[in-house]
Amino acid sequence: MTTGQWSFRWPRAVAAAALAAGVFVVLGCGEVDSYPATLAYPVRTDVMMLSLPKSIPTKFNNPGHLPTDFLAHLPTRYDAARRGRVIDLARVDREAQTFKLGENERALLEEARSNNIADPRNLTADERSRIGEVLTRLFGTPGKPTVKVRGEGETLGVAREVVETLKLDDKTLDEGSRLFRRHCLHCHGLEGNGRGPTGPWVNPHPRDFRQGVFKFTSSTQDLGERKPRRDDILHVLVHGIEGSAMPSFGVYAREDLEKLASYVIHLSMRGELEFFVISQWLQSPSKLYSPPGPEEIEAARTAMLAERKSEAEVKQAVDELNALKGPTEDEKKAAQAAIEQLFSDAMDPENGLPKRWVVAQGSAITPDPYPYPDSDEALLQSAARGSALFNTGTASCVSCHKNYGREAPYSFDQWGTIVRPRDLVNGFYRGGRRPIDLYYRVWSGINGAGMASYDKELRPNDQDRAARVDKIWDLVNFMQVLHYPDLRGKLKHPPYNVAID
C-alpha cells in the first residue's frame, strides 16, 4: 500500500500485543505453561465496525495487516460537537491528492464518513479503567478465567444456567485457557481478537470472537442474534476450516476440545459485552471527554477553514473548544455508575446477550426430510430446479455468486475484513461440504458476511409438499453437482438444458 506519510505500520498497541503473544507461545514450548498472574485482558483499542459495511473493496488486502488498521494511522482532529477525536477527513482528502489511496482505503473512508466506525481510543483513562475493572470482575484474567454468576441482590453477572449449560465453570475455563494459549493464541490473540502475531499474515484472517458473531452455525435464531451451538464450535475444532489456515484438531482428546470450546465461548461473551458497552458509551450524552490541547484547537481551526466554514462558525467552535474543561469528580462517579448499568442491562438474565447462547443450544436446525429417490436422475432433476432458483428464482444467489462465484465481487464483512462469496464450482466450502452443511448455509445464511437466510422463503409450503419438492434440498443438490464436471455436463443437455459453463 502506498499512502505516503500514512504508509502502513502496526499500531503500538497491536505490536506490543503481538510481541507479548509471541513470548507466550515461546514459553508454551518450554517448562512454563501458564500466564503471569498479573496479566489482564486489555480493553480494546482497535476501531469497531458498527454494522455490515456498504462500501465495496476491490481486492484482498496485502499480507501483514488488517484492513481497518489503515484508519488508525490517519490524522485526527478534535470535534467540538462529539467532544472527541475523529479522523480529519478534510485533511485526508487534501493530502490524498498527493499520496495515492487505494480503492480499499477509499471504501473504508466512506465507512468513517457514514459514522459506521467507532474508535475506542476516545475513551478517557477513567472510562477505560472502569470498563476494564468490570470486565475483570466478570470474566477474570487469562491466568484465572471465570464467568461470574449473578448473586442475590447483585446487578452484575450471568444467570447460573449460562454457566451450567455452556460448561463455563472455573476448572474447565482454566484448562481451556491453557490449551488456547498453547494452540490458538498465536493466530486468535490473547483476548480472541484475531490479532495474534501470525493473524495478519494469513488469509482469511483468524476469527475475531469479540463481537459474538460466528459465521458457520446450525441454530435457528435470527441473523444478528444467532449464536453457534456448542456442536458448531466443536465441528470447526475437529475438522478445521477448509481453504483457510484453521487446522483440524481432530487428533486431540474430545475432552480437551470441549474445554477449548468453553474457553472460546468465554472469550466471545466477554468480547461482545465489551463491544456493546464501548459502542453504546461512545454515543452516550454522559460520556466523559479529555479537553483538547492548544495544538488540537489550532488543528481544528485549520480543518474548519479548509472546509470553508465561515469565520463566525470557526470562532464559535474555537471558543467552545477553549471553554471545555475536564470532567468533575461528580461527573466521573456518574459515568462509572452509568457504565456499570450498561453492563447490567446487557447481561439481563431474561433478554441479555449471554441468554442468547443458552437459547442457541436448544435451537438446532432440523432439516425437512429428503424427498427424492437415491438415483442420479432424481439428483439431476433436483439440481436443475436448484439452478433455476439460483439464477432467477426466489433465492437469486447469482446476484452475489456471479458466474457461480467465479467472478464474485469483494466486500467487507462485519469485522471489517475483506471477503468474497464462495466459488461454488471449485467445491471448497469453509463451513463444510457435507449436504447438511450446505443445508445449514441456505437455511440460516452466514452471520457477519452479508449472506441472507432463506428458510422462510424456501422451506416447503403445502404446494411443494403435494408435489414432493423441497427448494432448499434442490439448491443443495445443485451446489453439489456444480463441482463435478461430468454431472455438470449432463445438466447442460436434455432433458435438463441448464445453461452452465
Task: Map residue 498 onto helix, strand or coil.
Answer: coil
For position 421, what pLDDT does the model report? Answer: 93
Cell readout for 30 is: 518450554
Contact call for residues 43 and 77 (beta carbons, < 8 A): no
Contact call for residues 237 and 261 (beta carbons, < 8 A): yes
Looking from the CA of 334 toward its CB, the CA atoms found within 13 Å total 10
Q: Could you read off the pLDDT of 137-193 as tens digits, one per residue? A: 999 999 999 999 999 888 899 999 999 999 999 999 999 999 999 999 999 999 999
Q: Tell me: pLDDT of 1 over 70.
A: no
Exposed e or buried b per residue across 331-362, where buried means at least 16 C-beta atoms within 10 angstroms of its C-beta: ebeebbebbbebbbebbeeeebbbbbbbebee
Choose the weakest-confidence range: 12-26, 77-91, 130-144, 454-468: 12-26
Choose the weakest-confidence range: 217-231, 303-317, 346-360, 448-462: 303-317
- Residue 44: which of 271, 332, 280 has the closest Cα? 271
Please indicate whether residue 235 or residue 427 has the higher confidence score (pLDDT): 235
Q: Could you read off the pLDDT of 319-378 as tens digits, one per residue? A: 988 988 889 999 999 999 999 999 999 999 999 999 999 999 999 999 999 999 999 999
Residue 11, preceding peptide bond in cis (omega within 30° of 0): no
Contact call for residues 365 and 220 (beta carbons, < 8 A): yes
Bridge partners (DSSP) listed for residue 446: 451
Kindly state the average pLDDT of the residues 93-105: 85
- 3-class SS letters over 430-445: CCCCCHHHHHHHHHHC
The number of beta carbons lying within 10 Å of the beta carbon of residue 5 is 9
Residue given cell 475437529 in the structure block: 238
Q: Tell me: pLDDT of 2 over 90.
A: no
Angle at CA 481, nearest 5°, toward 479 and 483?
85
Cell readout for 317 is: 467552535
Phi, psi of 398 (to 5 degrees): -65, -20
Cell readout for 447 is: 452471520
Bridge partners (DSSP) listed for residue 140: 145
Contact call for residues 34 and 174 (beta carbons, < 8 A): no
- Residue 50: which of 396, 364, 345, 415 has the closest Cα? 415
Q: Distance between CA atoms of 495 and 485, rounded to whole angstroms?
A: 18
Reported as type and span, the H/E element at residue 107 is helix 103-113
Alpha-helical segments (H) within 189-293: 230-239, 254-282
Phi, psi of 363 (to 5 degrees): -130, 50
Q: Identify how many contiguous H helices and E strands the chain contains and give both numbers.
A: 20, 6
Contact call for residues 416 and 451 (beta carbons, < 8 A): no
Question: pLDDT-derived band of residue 32, with 50, 70 and 90 as boundaries?
Answer: low
Phi, psi of 192 (to 5 degrees): 75, 35
Contact call for residues 53 and 116 (beta carbons, < 8 A): yes
50: DSSP letter: -
Residues in the chain: 501
Q: Could you read off the pLDDT of 432-478 as tens digits, one per residue? A: 999 999 999 999 999 999 999 999 999 999 999 999 999 999 999 99
- 3-class SS letters over 297-313: HHHHHHHHHHCCCCHHH
For position 195, what pLDDT does the model report? Answer: 95
Q: What are the Cα distances from residue 103, in Å, to 56, 58, 113, 318? A: 8, 6, 15, 34
Kindly state the average pLDDT of the residues 392-396: 81
Question: Which domains does the chain carry?
Answer: 4-282 (1.10.760.10), 376-491 (1.10.760)
Q: Could you read off the pLDDT of 239-249 as tens digits, one per residue? A: 999 989 999 99
Choose the weakest-confidence range: 23-27, 190-194, 199-203: 23-27
- Residue 144: which of 178, 118, 113 has the closest Cα? 178
